[in-house]
């Protein structure tokens, strides 16, 4: 039970943050509306991820499932930040 709890708390927190950042980057609204929407969405998403982690058979499976979603979400966030801050993809 403790491994699933750690996966749900820490992995779920990081995963929900990256998912909400993906949603924020795609919204064509002002920054205050983006932040407010993010604040409203973070807790229901985190709660859903916690339930999803507790539905796994063991802690390892919960961490793997969080990691499978976290990796592409974090890459999308990193690419968006990289492109919008003017850092080129290829250094010459």
Mean pLDDT over 4-14 rounds to 94
pLDDT tens digits along 24-45: 888 888 888 988 999 999 999 9
pLDDT of residue 48: 96
Looking at residues 15-30, what average pLDDT do you find? 90
First to last CA, the chain: 51
- DSSP character string of 41-92: HHHHHHHHHHHHHHTSSSHHHHHHHHHHHHHHHHHHHHHHHHHHTT--SS--
Half-sphere exposure of residue 30, counting CA atoms within 13 Å on the CB side? 2
pLDDT for residue 92 is more than 50? no
Q: Which band of pLDDT confidence, cut at 50, 70 and 90, is reported for residue 84?
A: confident
């Amino acid at each position: 039970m403790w491994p699933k709890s750690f996966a749900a708390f820490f992995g779920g927190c990081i995963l929900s943050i990256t998912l909400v950042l993906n949603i924020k980057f795609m919204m064509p609204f002002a920054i205050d509306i983006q932040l407010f929407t993010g604040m409203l969405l973070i807790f229901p998403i985190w709660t859903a991820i916690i339930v999803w982690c507790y539905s796994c058979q063991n802690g390892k499976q919960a961490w793997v499932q969080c990691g499978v979603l976290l990796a592409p979400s974090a890459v999308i966030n990193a690419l968006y930040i990289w492109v919008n801050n003017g850092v080129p993809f290829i250094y010459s």
